Structure 1
Amino acid sequence: MITFQNTVNGQLTAGSESFESFDPFTGKPWALIPADGPAEVDTAVAAAKAAFKSPAWRGLTATARGKLLVRFADVLAENADRLAAIETRDNGKLLSEMTAQLRYLPEWYRYFGGLIDKIEGAVLPVDKANMFAYTRREPLGVIAAIAPWNSPLMLLTWKLAPLLAAGNTVVIKPSEHTSASTLEFVKLFEEAGFPPGVVNTVTGMPMEVGAPLVSHPDVAKIAFTGGEPGGIAVYKAAAEQLKTVTLELGGKSANIIFDDADVENAVKGAISGIFAASGQTCIAGSRLLVHRNVHDQVVEGLVALAKTAQIGNPAQTNTQVGPITTLQQRGKVLDYMKIARDEGAEAVLGGGKPTTPELADGWFVEPTIFTGVNNKMRIAREEVFGPILSVIPFDDEDEAFEIANDSPYGLAAGIWTQNIGRAIRGAEAMEAGTVWVNTYRAVSYMAPFGGYKRSGVGRESGQEAINAYLQTKTVWIDALGETANPFIIR
């Protein structure tokens, strides 16, 4: 058992109690994480507030902050493989994917480090004689960053890079299921030269740590990624104190294959959209809409390709499907398989737990494909967050777009076609924050990411993200210093 510690005000702190973190591949505990409560939240927020007001941080120019972020990017790059190994052990995702993510993450810090001293105020051409007016862009203060368990450091970075570039300080609350990599990651900020208290962590259960953090009066904004129930709770708590939020929530993304698509490529894209990361991604293309003309061909290709997937130890390079991150989540995925069958869907692949003896201790679920699905079934409307693909047939373009948009969610969508006009029409028609054409799961530090409808509020990454962590101040200066009538608005 490895013991991890929080970082508060630049100091490592273990706390008086701890809880176990489990390895999804073995089903056994491997690490001890501090079990914090409201008192630890108060201490962390106080440290972040003091750092926000400190000349060591607040006194830095935007250029100096940018250089710190670029320096941190270099330190992160040196530790990427080590952090990836910790994430794989803690959440069960493939080491190959975690390594790719961690090696890519430094680009967010370089991007926002370079962007921040290009954010400008403006001189306003006001209609008041002898008045000079201009705007300033200023940080908000202490930010609460709450990250999920599926890609802890990537989704945390989407918050951290812009909020730090903007000059805020932060208290991070990682998922209680996958805290280890975050606690190791945060140590790197001191190595990069960040002042104490700028980046702090608290760990523990949602009600003991998350709720007090969100409702803390000294927290100016909450940036949250997670499930819809958690997002709603955050939104309500923030509303009571008129705080701003960024929420990246769930999805039930439609991946549409038209009959003019390159079927082989589309099948690969559909597999990537749902079985990569064992379906534990908010952008999972869990609804596969297929034109009837190619329906059977696509299903045959899906089954043939998915059957070749290597299920096993996520730390091995030849593994393609790893375990579900939590035992509770595996139970939910298996429940949805029963729900799908009860609704009349047919499992043409998978449908349960693997029977391989070496996988018996781990939290595995077979890659599963259901046909005979219609868009009114629960399996097509509710987020499963697991390796379950629902195949839904359609007859024409209008029906495809109608089915795709008939969802309370709108995080992402995919379109597979060789018709450029259809691609453009589809990109316009889709009620989703991201639309991929002839590809899936592509992200970048330069591209805004977020959802329509119940999939969230606000955007992460890209230039839009920095605005979520800045506020505008307008300054008026009377050039003459003469007040004609103090009882009349100027």
Structure 2
Amino acid sequence: MPTERLNYVDGEWTVSESDETFETVDPANPEEAVSTYPQSTAEDTEAAVEAAVGASEEWRNTSGPERGQILSRTSAILTDWKDELTELLVREEGKTRTEAGGEIQRAIDIFDYYGAKARDLGGTVKGASSRHTNLYTRTEPLGVAGLITPWNYPIAIPAWKIAPAVASGNAVLIKPASLAPGVVHEMARALEKAGLPGGVLNVITGPGSEVGDTIASHPDVDAISFTGSTAVGNTVYDTATEDGKRVQLEMGGKNPTIVSDAADVEEAADIVASGAFGVTGQACTACSRAIVYEDVYDEFVDTIVERAESIEIGHGLDDLDMGPHVSKSELESTLEYLDIGREEGATLAYGGGKLDREGYFVEPAVFTDAEPDMRIAQEEIFGPVLSVIPVSDYEQAIHVANGVKYGLSASIVTDDHGEANRFVEDVDAGVVKINQKTTGLELHVPFGGVKESSSETYREQGEAGLDFYTISKTVYDAY
């Protein structure tokens, strides 16, 4: 029997006014339902906004250290629940156990980090130009933050939005993605157990057309933080900014790794394979383009194909190398791009076949001799598909790397330090890595993209993550 889960509004677990529900299923075994959730309406969302508004004044006046203690206790509770949360994440999203456990740990660490940061919030004191004047700033919360989050990192991304929002004194309502919302419900349960007052966090499940649109357009919501596709993000931005909301968007990517002729090819193949095929390629920072110097191209192709061939695929709970796609539609989208790549004239050097078993499984795929303007080298695929593009030198490599509409994450593999420094300066990306995979982020530094990967307004994570949810007030006090 699937687990019945409810909305969390004003400190209570509630059904939707629609009395309708939807199910999540195990992507490795789609016949198995995992949980049921309310198919919420605009009216349900209105109630959640009202609850957040009602809680915001008391919460903003709660001291930073007290808010921080609640977040720190939440981190400890999530630690105690880590094994159960890992299994739930695997069963709804499909990650391997190791990948899911790493993501749960990420959420644990985020709450611990912002629990400490909440104690330091306040403002700064400056020297005034005139005597007998105190000049200082106050850092204050915006009020109510609406969060819309994706399925591919179903606890890490909600955590890095909820924790700074709550730490800085805002009330929150969140719409998690319908494919894997269970871990957000468990996070809410942990915050409740840690002592978070009712109404400070509200969780509403349901379709974007009802829940998401209401959050983005509601006049009592002061800020919107969205992570998801570029197309949906742009719609959210247009809706939210009509009445002057503060908006933060993190969206798609088409992330390159340049493999220089100064690279260790074996190391480069390991880095690219991990970035391209980890989490089944279902990451906005996944490497989908390997841009390889011609002098090492053939050796790299042989080695990356070996890496792809060695990947073991299976149910995430078996903890092999790669799990399934999250849904049938995501699998079909990847298979469609494999057909597109072949039609465009790229060589499918390995993989790409749907596995003959129950579940949304596909082999990792390596296209060789890809041209930079092919759709498989321009469009976000969101699956384990790598296009290998030959280039003659650094200048051509950086031109190809920057020749897409996205600019999220980019890396170079090289033992030439001068080349690496040039790459840092030249590449159009918000996250730049040297001799590392494009995926994987530290939680205490800013994260975000450029071009169509981001609204380029505010960064997430680290101290920058607090900036989005706060505003400064400058005080001149003559005495």
Give the Cα–Cα distance (whole angstroms) in 1 for the partners of residues 36 and 462 of structure 2.
36
Is 1:157–2:155 an aligned residue pair? no
Residue number in structure 1 paired with 2:469: 469
Is 1:372–2:369 an aligned residue pair? yes
SS at match of 1:456: coil
SS at match of 2:463: helix
- Deviation at 1:117? 3.0
Q: Which amino acid aligns with 1:53?
A: E
- Deviation at 1:131? 5.3
* C-alpha contact (below 8 Å) 2:121/2:168 kept by paired residues: no
The 5 A counterparts of 1:323-338 are: 323-338=324-339
SS at match of 1:406: coil
- Deviation at 1:475? 2.7
* C-alpha contact (below 8 Å) 1:21/1:90 kept by paired residues: yes
Unaligned runs of 5+ in 1: 480-490
Is 1:404–2:405 an aligned residue pair? no
Q: Which amino acid aligns with 1:248?
A: E
- Deviation at 1:121? 2.1
Is 1:433–2:400 an aligned residue pair? no
Q: Which moved more, 1:119-128 or 1:158-167?
A: 119-128
- Deviation at 1:399? 1.0
Equivalent residue in structure 2 for 1:26, among 24, 29, 48:
29
- Deviation at 1:123? 3.7
- Deviation at 1:442? 2.9
- Deviation at 1:125? 4.3
Deviations 1:301-341, CA, capped at 9 Å, x for gaps = 11112111111111112x11111111111111111111111
Equivalent residue in structure 1 for 2:185, among 179, 183, 186:
183
- Deviation at 1:127? 4.9
Q: Which moved more, 1:19-28 or 1:242-251?
A: 19-28
- Deviation at 1:185? 2.1
Q: Which amino acid aligns with 2:229?
A: G
- Structure with higher Rg: it is 1
Give the Cα–Cα distance (whole angstroms) in 2 for the partners of residues 129 and 19 of structure 1.
65
Q: Which amino acid aligns with 2:144?
A: V
Give the Cα–Cα distance (whole angstroms) in 1 for the partners of residues 361 and 99 of structure 2.
18
Give the Cα–Cα distance (whole angstroms) in 2 for the partners of residues 252 and 112 of structure 1.
30
Give the Cα–Cα distance (whole angstroms) in 2 for the partners of residues 195 and 53 of structure 1.
12
- Deviation at 1:129? 7.2
Q: Which amino acid aligns with 1:226?
A: G
Residue number in structure 2 paired with 1:454: 452
Residue number in structure 2 paired with 1:197: 199
Is 1:35–2:39 an aligned residue pair? yes
- Deviation at 1:74? 0.6
The 5 A counterparts of 1:62-101 are: 62-101=64-103
Q: Which amino acid aligns with 1:50?
A: G
- Deviation at 1:178? 1.2
Deviations 1:355-401, CA, capped at 9 Å, x for gaps = 3xxx2x21112110001211111111110000110000111111111
- Deviation at 1:477? 3.7
* C-alpha contact (below 8 Å) 2:71/2:191 kept by paired residues: no
Give the Cα–Cα distance (whole angstroms) in 2 for the partners of residues 142 and 454 of structure 1.
26
- Deviation at 1:155? 0.8
Q: Which amino acid aligns with 1:249?
A: M
Q: Which amino acid aligns with 1:374?
A: E
SS at match of 2:418: helix
Superposed CA RMSD in Å reads 1.4
Unaligned runs of 5+ in 2: none
- Deviation at 1:58? 2.8
**Identical positions, percent:** 38
Is 1:344–2:345 an aligned residue pair? yes
Give the Cα–Cα distance (whole angstroms) in 1 for the partners of residues 341 and 202 of structure 2.
43
Give TM-score scaled by structure 2 length: 0.96
The 5 A counterparts of 1:17-416 are: 17-28=20-31, 29-54=33-58, 57-127=59-129, 132-317=134-319, 319-355=320-356, 359=357, 361-416=358-413
Give the Cα–Cα distance (whole angstroms) in 2 for the partners of residues 171 and 320 of structure 1.
35
Give the Cα–Cα distance (whole angstroms) in 2 for the partners of residues 300 and 308 of structure 1.
13
Between the two proteins, the alignment pairs up a number of residues equal to 472
- Deviation at 1:133? 3.9
SS at match of 2:415: coil
SS at match of 1:290: strand
* C-alpha contact (below 8 Å) 1:323/1:363 kept by paired residues: yes
* C-alpha contact (below 8 Å) 2:70/2:191 kept by paired residues: no
SS at match of 1:70: helix
Q: Which amino acid aligns with 1:32?
A: T
Give the Cα–Cα distance (whole angstroms) in 1 for the partners of residues 131 and 113 of structure 2.
41
Give the Cα–Cα distance (whole angstroms) in 2 for the partners of residues 114 and 341 of structure 1.
52
Give the Cα–Cα distance (whole angstroms) in 2 for the partners of residues 250 and 330 of structure 1.
18
Give the Cα–Cα distance (whole angstroms) in 2 for the partners of residues 21 and 105 of structure 1.
22
- Deviation at 1:128? 6.3
* C-alpha contact (below 8 Å) 1:83/1:185 kept by paired residues: no
Give the Cα–Cα distance (whole angstroms) in 2 for the partners of residues 123 and 95 of structure 1.
48
- Deviation at 1:415? 0.6
Deviations 1:260-303, CA, capped at 9 Å, x for gaps = 11111110111111100111000011011011111111110111
SS at match of 2:315: coil
* C-alpha contact (below 8 Å) 2:347/2:368 kept by paired residues: yes
Q: Which moved more, 1:296-305 or 1:96-105?
A: 96-105
SS at match of 1:286: strand
SS at match of 1:413: strand
Give TM-score scaled by structure 1 length: 0.94
Q: Which amino acid aligns with 1:304?
A: E
Give the Cα–Cα distance (whole angstroms) in 2 for the partners of residues 62 and 364 of structure 1.
46
SS at match of 2:13: strand
* C-alpha contact (below 8 Å) 2:346/2:368 kept by paired residues: yes
Deviations 1:397-434, CA, capped at 9 Å, x for gaps = 11111110111100000110011111111112111111
Give the Cα–Cα distance (whole angstroms) in 1 for the partners of residues 407 and 255 of structure 2.
7
Q: Which moved more, 1:326-335 or 1:109-118?
A: 109-118
